[in-house]
Amino acid sequence: MRDVGKRLAGRPSSDDREPTSKQGHALRKPLRRSALNGTMSRPLEVSEVRDFRREVEQSADSTVVMFTTSWCPFCRRFKPQFVEAASKSDVRTVMAYIDDWENPLWDEYHIDVVPTLVLFERGKPVYRRDGVLGRGLGGHDIAAIVDRAAGLATA
């Protein structure tokens, strides 16, 4: 019953998890950084909580975070749109992989469905677009949050 509830809420069941390290973190190849007008030209990918805290919560920059998982079909469909938007914008972007349902970021940021976009300003969430269960997010969602982030940067 517990796995069914988690699956309905957008969280993985124990059967849905991908291979993890000894510490229980999803195994992921690091994404190389490349500068574009002083920002990332592609989203920075993080899969460990300590990296998320350093790159997002401790950052003074406005940052758009896509909370995602490797097993979500809507996340996989939305990822190219997010990457494209990141490459066309000066807004800092991060893809936070929360594959392990025991990851504390699920609860800290009230993530019920992935993908979910959250705009952080000085390490604090200020705006969000939650994915819709069974539909995910669309291009209009990323445009809305990137426009808002760009507005904060010029204010």
> 57: domain CATH number?
3.40.30.10
pLDDT at 121: 96
pLDDT at 108: 97
34 lies in some domain: no
Q: CA separation (Å) from 83 to 91, 115, 120?
A: 12, 13, 18
Phi then psi for 118, rounded to 5 degrees? -135, 130
Mean pLDDT of 62-69: 97
pLDDT of residue 79 exceeding 60: yes
31 lies in some domain: no
pLDDT of residue 3 exceeding 50: no
Provide the residue range defining the domain that includes 145.
44-153
106 lies in some domain: yes
Q: What is the rounded CA–CA span in Å between residue 12 and residue 120?
A: 25
pLDDT at 45: 96
Q: pLDDT digits over 83-108, tens only?
A: 999 999 889 999 999 999 899 999 99
Q: What is the rounded CA–CA span in Å between residue 104 and residue 91?
A: 26
16 lies in some domain: no
101 lies in some domain: yes
Mean pLDDT of 43-69: 96
13 lies in some domain: no
Can you give 27-39 as a three-state secondary structure string?
CCCCCCCCEECCE
129 lies in some domain: yes
Q: What is the rounded CA–CA span in Å between residue 28 and residue 39?
A: 22
35 lies in some domain: no
Task: Name the domain count of the chain.
Answer: 1
Strands 63-68 and 92-97: parallel
Mean pLDDT of 150-155: 76
3-class state of residue 5 by DSSP: helix
Confidence of residue 7 (pLDDT cuts 50, 70, 90): very low
How many residues appear in the chain?
A: 155
Residue 102 token pair: 């025991």
The DSSP bridge partners found for residue 125 are 120
Model-level pTM?
0.74
Higher pLDDT, 153 or 15: 153
Neighbours of 97 (CB within 10 A): 23
